[in-house]
Chains A and B, each alone.
Chain A
Amino acid sequence: MESNRIEYLLGRYEEGETTLAEEKELREYFSQKEIPEHLEAYALLFKFQAHESKAVYTEDKVLKLESKNYRFAWTSIAAVIIVALGIFYFNQSQPSLTTSEMSAVNDQEQALEKTKQTLKMVSAMMNEGTADLVYLQEFNKTKNQIIELN
């Protein structure tokens, strides 16, 4: 009688008509040892279902990832603070330098003197530089000789 009911349930099972409770009944029936031979295929199928429901997700990467996220967040905040401080520092220090220089030469005559001095220095340097150009004339001489030969 029981096997009649099981076969009836299996028919409905294959049509997708069984309820969860009926499927549970089938699963329980097939979990026992003695199964009629013609139903062995079903036994395997239900064993497979039980077997497959045992796989577990063991990784706890999720939590690790979340804490990693926080670490990233704090480094980015630190980086922003450093950059902000850097910009703040440079913005402050540059104008203070230029104003101190400006204040040193606020007198007109002094400024003129200073300019003259620097210009003189520049021209002296230039002359020093051009003095070395004499050597180049030697090159020109030999070059001209070659051109004449041709």
Chain B
Amino acid sequence: MSARNITAERLLALIETYGADVDAYPEDERASARALLKAEPQAFAAALEEARTLDLLLQAVPPVDTPADLRTRLIDSAPKPARAAGRRWRLPVWIPAGAIASLSLGLFAGMSVAQTSVPAQEDQAQELVYAALGFDTYSIDLEDEAPQ
């Protein structure tokens, strides 16, 4: 950063803006400010004195530290590691176990009903066919055809 030459008026403005400490001035104006203060100390003495009083009051304001409980709250509110996030979506063990048990029960029940109902449906169909052909009942015919 290149140094900038400043006027006495600008130096007074800097004192009023930033106080008596030249290190608080914009970096490119510090060297020129120091040179002016050294060359004409009396010209700026009153302004510096007034600024210094306020500087001391501001310096007495203690820094603010983050209390431990606030620090904990801030950290707790942050994103959680991806590993933990993945685990959050994993299903509890009892859900797939319950699903398998339900499926097995359903399959068993379905097969049982199918075994008993298919012959009954076949009987009904054959009765219809025999009735259409003019026979009385399918069961009578079966008895007639039964081996002696």
Same complex origin of A and B: no
